[in-house]
Amino acid sequence: MSASKKKELSYRLPEEFQVFGFSKDLLAWYDSQKRDLPWRINRDPYRVWVSEIMLQQTRVETVKPYYQNFMEKFPTVEALADAPEDEVLKAWEGLGYYSRVRNLQAAAREVKASYGGVVPDTPEEISKLKGIGPYTAGAILSIAYEKPEPAVDGNVMRVFSRLLLMDDDIAKPATRIKLEHLIRQVIPEGRAGDFNQALMELGALVCVPRTPQCLTCPVFDYCLARREGVQEELPVKGKAKAPRPVTYLVAVIRKGDQVLIHKRPEKGLLAGMWEFPMVETDEIKWAEDVLPDQIAQRYGVELLVEKPLAQIQHTFSHLQWTLHVYLCEATGQEDLASTVRYVRTDELEQFTFSVAHHKIIEALRLASS
C-alpha cells in the first residue's frame, strides 16, 4: 500500500466501513458473544466508573471479585465519598496502583459536593474529575449516558491499527487522538456504549496481541492488515523505559507474638499503606551490620538479625523492587517513631499492605507453622 493511501486512511475511514455496515456486523457479534460481567448488570454511571478504574492495567478475571466486594461496601457515590480512606484502601488491597482508588475517592467527594452525587454527563465536566482521562471519560459517557464518545484503550488501538493497517506508534498521544477521530465516524446512534464495549471485547477475545483469531473475527472482511498478512506485526508500540532496579533489606522484627509495622507517608508510592521496615541498600552481604544500625536510626528499635526469611521481587511501572527479608528480634531500649507500631501477627490482615509485603506475611506464616 502506498504512503499516500496510508495517510488518507489515517484521517478518513475506508468507504466500506460505512457502506457495508462495520458497526452493524460488530454489534451483531457482540450481542451474541458478550461476556456476562458484573458491571454490565445495569448502566449506573457510578458502577461503570468504578469498573473502568479497576480494569486499568488489571485483568478482567482478577477484577471480578474485587468489584463485587467494593460495590457491596460502597454502593453509591455518597458511600464512597463518606468512607474512611483506610477502609477504601483495604477494599482495593491486592489490585495495585493505589493512586487510582485515591483519585476515585477524591473524585467521588467532588461529585457529591458539586454535582449532588450525580456523575456528570458532559465531556467538559467529567474530565475535570481527578483520575478521569480521555478513555475513562469516553467509557462512562458512552456506556452510562449513550453519548457518542469514543473510548480508546489498548485493545481498541490494537484493533484499529490492524483494521486500517496503521503504523503509527500507539504509545504516542497523537495516535490516540487520531483514532478517536476515526472511531467517531462509525459510532452508531443510540448504541454508543455497546459499540465501545464491542471494540474492547473484540480486542480482548479475538484480536488478541499474539496469534489473533482472524478466522472467527466478525469484522474479518474490513481488516487491511489481514489482507496484507501482517496482522501479527501490528500495532507498532515504542518500548517503554525499563523499570529502575532498587534493592531493600526488610526487617520482620518480632517481640513475643507481635511484629513491628510501619506506615508509609501520605504522599508518593503506596501512600498511607503499611509495610515491614525497609532500608534501601547495595550491601546485601552486610545485612547483619546494616539493618541494626539503620533500623535503630529510622524507627527507634534495637534488633538482632536472626536469619533470612525470603527474597521477593515486585515490579512497578517505573521500579523493580528486590526485597531481601530477614527475621529479627527486638532487643534493648525502644524509642518508637510515630509511624510504627507493634501488632499481633493475627491482626496483620486488618491493615492494608502492598502485594510485595503480603508475600512477606505469607512467608512469615509458613515459617511459623
More confident call, 124 vs 266: 124
Task: Count the Cβ atoms, other than its own, within 10 Å of residue 195.
Answer: 24
pLDDT value at position 7?
A: 45
pLDDT of 219 > 60? The answer is yes
Reply yes or no on whether the pLDDT at 3 is more than 80: no
Q: Which pLDDT belongs to residue 226?
A: 95
pLDDT > 70 in the chain, percent: 96
Q: Is the pLDDT of residue 325 over 80?
A: yes
Burial class (CB in 10 A: 0-12, 13-18, 19+), 97: middle
The mean per-residue pLDDT over the stretch 132-139 comes to: 97
Least confident residue range of 34-38, 100-104, 194-198, 278-282:
278-282
Q: What is the pTM of this model?
A: 0.85
Q: What pLDDT score does 264 carry?
A: 94
**Known active-site residue 52:** yes
What is the residue-averaged pLDDT of the chain? Answer: 92
The CATH number given to 244-368 is: 3.90.79.10
Long-range contact pairs involving 256-261 (C-beta distance under 8 Å, separation at least 24) = 257/344, 257/345, 258/342, 258/343, 258/344, 258/345, 259/342, 259/343, 259/345, 259/348, 259/364, 260/299, 260/301, 260/330, 260/340, 260/341, 260/342, 261/340, 261/341, 261/342, 261/343, 261/348, 261/351
Catalytic residue, candidates 8, 16, 52, 125: 52
- Asked whether the predicted pLDDT for residue 36 surpasses 60, the reply is yes
Confidence of residue 239 (pLDDT cuts 50, 70, 90): confident
Give the C-alpha separation, 191 to 193, whole Å.
Answer: 5
The answer, yes or no, to whether residue 308 has pLDDT greater than 90, is yes
CA distance 253 to 126: 46
d(CA 340, CA 367) in angstroms, rounded, equals 23
- pLDDT, residue 11, reads 66
Q: Which of 103-107, 172-176, 332-336 has the lowest mean pLDDT?
A: 332-336
Helices (H), the chain: 3-11, 15-19, 22-33, 45-55, 60-73, 77-82, 85-92, 99-115, 123-126, 134-145, 154-163, 173-184, 192-205, 224-228, 287-299, 355-368
What are the tens digits of pLDDT across the range 49-87?
A: 999 999 998 899 999 999 999 999 999 999 999 999 999
Share of the chain above pLDDT 90, in %: 84
d(CA 276, CA 342): 11
Three-state SS at 333? strand
Cell of 365: 506464616
Domain boundaries, the chain: 3-233, 244-368
Q: What is the pLDDT of residue 369?
A: 76
- State residue 355's pLDDT score: 92
CATH class of the domain whose range is 3-233: mainly alpha
pLDDT value at position 4?
Answer: 39
